[in-house]
């Protein structure tokens, strides 16, 4: 029913692509991260809350049609609907039905409730396309609430000792999770431009997050014992200089491992992820009842073998143009997909 083409995942019955990486006429977008929402598509179809995000990222001129969760769209006898993926604001699994056959394309997702995005809902289907960013048993993420608590505790301790707290996370997703759960006692956080601009875009669809834009004009006394939220692109750059004295923490699922944690030489790593860990993946896949699993984005070879051997599923790996780097900590330019 679906075809895996050079441009991306193709649904011929409705003549559209899901998260295509090359320009096509009709693109269905699971969520606003830049390895899923690519520029130069003829038209975009996405969840209502994703619209402002991709307009902000890809340009105000793009043609966008939106749907709410669970709102079916009928095209040539095929049905398409979005369902909460729990990954970031507006993230959706795409359910596709044609002649009684049902496929679900997850994009990225997680089962843990982050308190910001609409929680994941399992969808019964015949074929399921899943990511596997953290598809190894060594990844066991703790509930988001306990991580938020640790972050708040860390920031409070820093403030007490006279340090600013710099929290590093993606401008879309992680930043809002942090902001929505910061203890108000810590004061109004300061935001890097990328985070601030993203928040402005989200505000246009009614999603509000605290924080002030940190600019060169921000007065020095505002930069005392405060919390700053910034994307990973600031790591190792002079942008941080003005925040001294500070302690810096990276919030990412990769921080579950010591190697990546130490490689960044930051003060602290919080394993806060917007992806499924191994157990979440297993739970999600079992809940769909699907017999055919396509594994993408991450440890697809290992994870699909696990699915075949453990659950007797027909699991195969799909390779993508973006291997495993959505959450990659690069310290590089903004062009890197977040």
Partner 1 sequence: MKDFVTLFQEIDATTKTNAKIAALVTYFQNAAPQDRLWAITLLMGNRPRRPVKTTDLRAWVAAITDLPLWLIEESYYIVGDLAETLALLAGDQENTEAPVLTLTELLQALQQLAGLNPEEQQAFITRFWMDHRGEDNFVFNKLITGNFRMGVSKQLVIKALAQYIGQDEKAIAHRLMGKWDPAAETLESLFGDRTVENKAYLPYPFFLAYPLEGTPEAILGPITDWYLEKKFDGIRGQIIVRNHQVFVWSRGEELVTDKFPEFDRLQDLLPNGTVIDGEIIPWKDGQVLPFAQMQTRIGRKKLTPKHLSEVPLIMICYDLLEYNGEDIRSKTLEERRLLLTTLLALPSVNSVLQLSHLLEFDHWEEAAQFRARARDFFCEGIMIKRISSVYETGRRRGNWWKWKTAPMTVDAVLIYAQSGSGRRSNLFTDYTFAVWDGDQLVPFTKAYSGLTDKEILRLDRWVKTHTIEKFGPVRSVQPELVFEIAFEGIQESKRHKSGVALRFPRILRWREDKPATEANTKEDLRTLL
Q: How far is the CB of 121 from partner 1 (least distance, A)?
A: 28
Using CB under 8 A as the binding rule, the residues of this chain from 291 to 320 that contact partner 1 are 299, 301-302, 305-306, 309-310
- CA atoms of 27 and 334, how far apart (whole Å): 23
When asked if residue 153 is in the footprint of partner 1 (CB under 8 A), the reply is: no
- CA atoms of 316 and 303, how far apart (whole Å): 9
- CA atoms of 21 and 309, how far apart (whole Å): 31
When asked if residue 237 is in the footprint of partner 1 (CB under 8 A), the reply is: no
Q: Is the alpha carbon torsion for 296, 301, 303, 305 positive or negative?
A: positive
Q: Of 113, 99, 89, 101, which is closest to residue 31 (Cα–Cα)? A: 89
Q: Is the alpha carbon torsion for 200, 202, 206, 210 positive or negative?
A: negative
* 158 contact partners, CB below 8 Å, separation of at least 6: 164, 165, 225, 246, 247
Among 186, 223, 240, 257, indicate the residue that binds partner 1 (CB under 8 A): 257
Using CB under 8 A as the binding rule, the residues of this chain from 35 to 64 that contact partner 1 are none
117 versus 304: smaller Cβ distance to partner 1: 304
Burial class of residue 8 (count of CB atoms within 10 Å of its CB; 0-12, 13-18, 19+): buried
74 versus 321: smaller Cβ distance to partner 1: 321
11 versus 303: smaller Cβ distance to partner 1: 303
199 versus 232: smaller Cβ distance to partner 1: 232
When asked if residue 332 is in the footprint of partner 1 (CB under 8 A), the reply is: yes
Among 1, 73, 75, 136, indicate the residue that binds partner 1 (CB under 8 A): 136
Residues that bind partner 1 (CB under 8 A): 136-140, 236, 254, 256-260, 262-263, 265, 267-268, 299, 301-302, 305-306, 309-310, 321, 323-325, 328, 330-332
């Amino acid at each position: 029913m679906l075809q895996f083409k050079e441009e991306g995942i193709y649904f011929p019955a409705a003549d559209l692509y899901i998260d295509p990486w090359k320009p096509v006429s009709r693109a269905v977008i699971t969520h606003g991260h830049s390895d899923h929402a690519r520029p130069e598509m003829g038209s975009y179809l996405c969840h209502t809350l994703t619209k402002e995000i991709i307009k902000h990222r890809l340009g105000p001129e793009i043609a966008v049609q939106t749907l709410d969760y669970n709102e079916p769209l009928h095209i040539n006898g095929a049905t398409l609907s979005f369902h909460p993926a729990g990954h970031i604001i507006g993230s959706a699994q795409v359910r596709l039905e044609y002649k009684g056959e049902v496929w679900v394309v997850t994009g990225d997702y997680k089962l843990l409730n982050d308190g910001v995005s609409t929680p994941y809902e399992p969808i019964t289907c015949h074929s399921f396309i899943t990511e596997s960013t953290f598809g190894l048993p060594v990844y066991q993420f703790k509930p988001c609430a306990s991580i938020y608590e640790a972050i708040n505790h860390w920031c409070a301790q820093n403030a007490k000792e006279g340090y600013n707290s710099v929290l590093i996370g993606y401008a879309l997703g992680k930043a809002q999770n942090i902001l929505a759960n910061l203890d108000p006692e810590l004061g109004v956080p300061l935001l890097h431009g990328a985070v601030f601009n993203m928040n402005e875009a989200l505000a246009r669809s009614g999603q509000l997050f605290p924080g002030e834009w940190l600019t060169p004009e921000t007065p020095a006394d505002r930069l005392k014992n405060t919390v700053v939220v910034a994307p990973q692109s600031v790591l190792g750059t002079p942008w941080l200089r003005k925040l001294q004295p500070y302690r810096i923490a990276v919030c990412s699922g990769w921080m579950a491992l010591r190697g990546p944690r130490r490689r960044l030489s930051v003060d602290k790593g919080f394993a806060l992820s917007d992806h499924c860990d191994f157990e979440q993946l297993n739970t999600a896949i079992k809940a769909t009842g699907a017999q055919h699993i396509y594994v993408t984005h991450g440890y697809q070879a290992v994870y699909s073998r696990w699915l075949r051997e453990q659950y007797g599923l027909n699991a195969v790996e799909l390779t993508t143009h973006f291997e495993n780097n959505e959450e990659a900590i690069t310290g590089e330019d903004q062009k890197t997909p977040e």
